[in-house]
């Protein structure tokens, strides 16, 4: 048999190559265990950070809803009664209060919120119904109220309701009780109603110009759980609040209104342990132990009804 000699270079190369060792089962199990611990820690960190971000976003949305609702209600309440100076409460009141001890309150306010004013160049006679010729009927709408401000005889100042779509410079109203001299100022009076519906939405309702008994609803803010009003009374008409009530018997005594808004996050948080609806004014809160997981914020603000004193007779 012929022997084949292996070259020296090949021998050296084989000597340099070390045999590879495999991984034992124990080493594999240990490596997998360490990897699992690391992955679990990373996942727990991700879940925590994600929950924190979701909660932060919900709280931000909740606070934004609170600001939007508060700003709108405050602005309109401050203008309540504007244009209603010297109008008898039996004719047209600036406030219509609906108090509830089992749910949200509602409030209807009236005033010249958009500052729409004109004047009647000629004499306004007694009529039922009647047409008033004005300098400019722009902005006046069907079913708006108007106030005829009689500067010569303030006691004759009166309110009427527009019953037809204004045409040209004519305002057709349901009636004029008193005769008025030329150049009387005429205010456009509208009403706004704030309430919270069953879907926790703060709603602003405006008069429907197509239906005397209808309203057009506008969404102001979502996730509003409760709305309560308190009324500061100036019983001696000295310009200072004397007492509080939730259901005033005479709205002409109201000098200020306290709004109480309760908003909550859009979704519940199972890790939140203080999810109880609190008491607002005369509306009792939820019972202890009924944690629902919602985060909540309350806003309380007293607003002076700056035009209210002008409506007193």
Does 16 map to a domain?
Answer: no
pTM across the whole model? 0.81
- CA distance linking residue 313 with residue 90, whole number of Å: 11
Does 284 map to a domain?
Answer: yes
Does 38 map to a domain?
Answer: no
| Boundaries of domain holding 64 | 60-311
Instruction: State pLDDT tens for residues 237-252.
Output: 887 889 999 999 888 8
The tally of domains found in the chain comes to 1
Instruction: State pLDDT tens for residues 165-222.
Output: 998 899 999 999 999 999 999 999 999 999 999 999 999 999 999 998 999 999 999 9
DSSP state of 154: G
Does 55 map to a domain?
Answer: no
Instruction: State pLDDT tens for residues 39-67.
Output: 888 888 877 777 777 667 777 788 888 88
Does 274 map to a domain?
Answer: yes
Does 17 map to a domain?
Answer: no
Cis amide leading into 37 (omega within 30): no
- CA distance linking residue 72 with residue 48, whole number of Å: 36
4 or 131: whose pLDDT is higher? Answer: 131
Question: What is the rounded average pLDDT of the residues 73-91?
Answer: 87
* Residue 49 CA: distances (Å) to CA of 27, 39, 44, 59: 33, 15, 9, 15
Does 12 map to a domain?
Answer: no
**Has residue 313 got a pLDDT over 50?**
no
Does 144 map to a domain?
Answer: yes
């Amino acid at each position: 048999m012929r022997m084949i000699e292996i070259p020296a270079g090949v021998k050296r190369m084989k000597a340099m190559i070390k045999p590879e060792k495999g991984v034992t089962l124990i080493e594999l199990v240990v490596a997998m265990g360490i990897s699992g611990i690391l992955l679990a820690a990373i996942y727990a960190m991700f879940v925590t950070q994600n929950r924190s971000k979701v909660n932060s976003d919900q709280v931000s949305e909740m606070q934004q809803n609170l600001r939007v609702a508060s700003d709108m209600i405050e602005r309109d309440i401050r203008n309540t009664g504007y244009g209603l100076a010297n109008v008898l409460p039996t004719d047209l009141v600036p406030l219509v209060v609906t108090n509830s001890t089992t749910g949200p309150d509602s409030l209807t306010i009236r005033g010249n919120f958009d500052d729409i004013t004109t004047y009647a160049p000629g004499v306004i006679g007694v009529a039922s119904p009647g047409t008033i010729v004005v300098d400019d009927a722009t902005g006046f709408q069907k079913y708006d109220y108007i106030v005829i401000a009689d500067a010569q005889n303030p006691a004759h100042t009166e309110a009427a309701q527009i019953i037809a779509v204004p045409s040209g410079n004519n305002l057709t109203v349901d009636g004029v009780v008193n005769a008025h001299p030329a150049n009387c100022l005429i205010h456009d009076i509208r009403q706004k109603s704030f309430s919270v519906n069953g879907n926790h939405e703060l709603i602003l309702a405006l008069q429907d110009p197509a239906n005397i008994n209808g309203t057009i609803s506008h969404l102001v803010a979502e996730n509003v759980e409760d709305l309560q009003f308190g009324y500061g009374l100036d019983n001696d008409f000295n310009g200072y609040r004397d007492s509080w009530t939730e259901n005033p018997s005479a709205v002409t005594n109201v000098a200020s209104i306290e709004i109480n808004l309760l908003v909550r996050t859009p979704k519940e948080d199972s890790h939140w342990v203080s999810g109880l609806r609190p008491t607002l004014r005369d509306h009792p809160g939820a019972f202890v132990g009924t944690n629902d997981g919602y985060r909540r914020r309350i806003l309380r603000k007293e607003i002076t009804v700056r035009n209210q004193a002008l409506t007193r007779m």
